[in-house]
Amino acid sequence: MPFDQIIPPIGTGLFLTGAAYAAFSALVSGQVIGTRVIEKSNWMPRCEQALVLAAKQDAPTFQTPVPTPDCNSIMGMFAGPEGKQLCNIVGPLFQNPLAGQIEKQNQELKDAYNARLKNAAAHASSSCKCAVNVQLEDRMPWALYAGSARLITPSKIRNLDAELFAALSSPVCAGRFQ
């Protein structure tokens, strides 16, 4: 005798209730609980601090120019006060041009380092928010976590810090495409 209808092993109402609960967990409660868990883990301040500290670790090394005697020390030793007056006229001849270039290069390195620190501090918040969004993008672990009333904890949630730092270093959040 062929069956005209396929009868599910569970009641239709129970099946629809379970499907609605799963959809609600996937679309709403999983995201809300995920956001709250990440906020509770204090991720944003820790992430911003880590990004600024990482930028500070790459401090430039400055070159020191070789000290050379100036005109007053040379001419004052040999010619006395008249030599110092002569230095007012020919003083630029005794200047070390390499020292000026080294000082200019050191100042450029210092300015670039300060700009990089300022840029890292300015973009740290958006990079950290990007990592949170990448983590929350995968809805299934959060839906399982929320739908099971936090009884089942997927590994992606158990290792939340590692997942967030992995998302932070991903090409999406590292700013490579901006």
pLDDT band at 178 (very low <50, low <70, confident <90, very high): very low
- Evaluate whether residue 117 is within a structural domain: yes
Give percent of the chain with pLDDT exceeding 70.
Answer: 76
- Evaluate whether residue 97 is within a structural domain: yes
- Give residue 38's pLDDT: 92
pTM: 0.63
Look at the chain and report how many structural domains it folds into.
Answer: 1
Is 11 or 48 the better-scoring residue by pLDDT?
48
Q: For residue 176, is pLDDT > 80?
A: no
- Evaluate whether residue 176 is within a structural domain: no
- Evaluate whether residue 148 is within a structural domain: yes
Structural domain boundaries, residue 151: 12-57+68-168
pLDDT band at 94 (very low <50, low <70, confident <90, very high): low
Region 42-70 average pLDDT: 81
- Evaluate whether residue 3 is within a structural domain: no
pLDDT tens digits for range 152-163? 888 898 999 999
Between the CA of residue 110 and those of 2, 7, 52, 113, what are the distances in Å? 84, 76, 16, 5
- Evaluate whether residue 78 is within a structural domain: yes
The residue assigned the tokens 């390499």 is: 98
Q: Which tokens is 131 given? A: 């990592």
Burial of 47 (0-12, 13-18, 19+ CB in 10 A): buried
- Evaluate whether residue 174 is within a structural domain: no
